[in-house]
Amino acid sequence: MKDIYIVLPEELGTIAPEIYGHFSEHIGGVMRDGAWVGKDSPVPNVRGWRTQIVEKLKAINAPVIRWPGGCFAETYDWRDGIGSDRPRRINWWMANDGRVETNEVGTHEFMDFCEQVGAKPYFAVNITSITPLQARDWLDYCLSPAESTDLALLREKNGRKEPFDIPYFGIGNENWGGGGEMTPEFYASVYRRFATVMGNVPSGTPKDFFACGACAEDFDWTQRLAVGFKEKHSKLDGMTIHYYCGGAGECTDYTVSQWYELLQKAEKMDDIIERNWSVVKGYGLEKSMKLVIDEWGCWHPGGSGPSKGYNLFEQQATMRDAVVAALTMNIFNNRCSSIKMANVAQLCNNLHAPFLADKEHCVETVNYYVFDMFKNHMGATAVRTVVKDNEDITRKVSASASVKNGAVTLTLANCSCERAVTVRPVLLGGASAGMKLRTLSAESRLACNTFDEPYKIVPVEAATNGKTVTIPKGGVAEVTIRLK
Ligand code: AHR
Per residue, the 3-state secondary structure of 45-81, as one string, reads: EECCEEHHHHHHHHHCCCCEEEECCCHHHHHCCHHHH
Burial 272-294 (b: 16+ CB within 10 A, else e): bbeebbebbeeeebeeebbbbbb
For the CA of 313, the nearest atom of ligand 1: 2
The catalytic residues are 174, 295
Judged on CB neighbours under 10 Å (0-12, 13-18, 19+), 53 is buried
Distance 14 CA to ligand 1 centre (A): 29
Q: What is the pLDDT of residue 225?
A: 96
Q: What is the pLDDT of residue 3?
A: 96
C-alpha span between 328 and 345 (Å, rounded): 13
Residue 74 near residue 179, CB atoms below 8 Å: yes
C-alpha span between 442 and 109 (Å, rounded): 38
Phi, psi of 472 (to 5 degrees): -60, 165
Closest residue to atom 8 of ligand 1, CA basis? 70
Closest residue to atom 7 of ligand 1, CA basis? 70
pTM of the full predicted structure? 0.98
What's the one-letter identity of residue 158? N
Of residues 296, 293, 295, 299, the one with CA closest to residue 262: 299
Distance 328 CA to ligand 1 centre (A): 18
Residue 387 near residue 397, CB atoms below 8 Å: yes
Q: What is the pLDDT of residue 232?
A: 85
Q: What is the pLDDT of residue 158?
A: 98
DSSP-derived 3-state class of residue 124:
strand
Q: What is the pLDDT of residue 26?
A: 98
pLDDT digits (tens), the chain, 484 positions: 999 999 999 999 999 999 999 999 999 999 998 999 999 999 999 999 999 999 999 999 999 999 999 999 999 999 999 999 999 999 999 999 999 999 999 999 999 999 999 999 999 999 999 999 999 999 999 999 999 999 999 999 999 999 999 999 999 999 999 999 999 999 999 999 999 999 998 888 889 999 999 999 999 999 999 999 988 888 999 999 999 999 999 999 999 999 999 999 999 999 999 999 999 999 999 999 999 999 999 999 999 999 999 999 999 999 999 999 999 999 999 999 999 999 999 999 999 999 999 999 999 999 999 999 999 999 999 999 999 889 999 999 999 999 999 999 999 999 999 999 999 999 999 999 999 999 999 999 999 999 999 999 999 999 899 999 999 999 999 999 999 9
DSSP-derived 3-state class of residue 369:
helix
Residue 10: in which H helix or E strand, if any? strand 2-14
Distance 196 CA to ligand 1 centre (A): 26
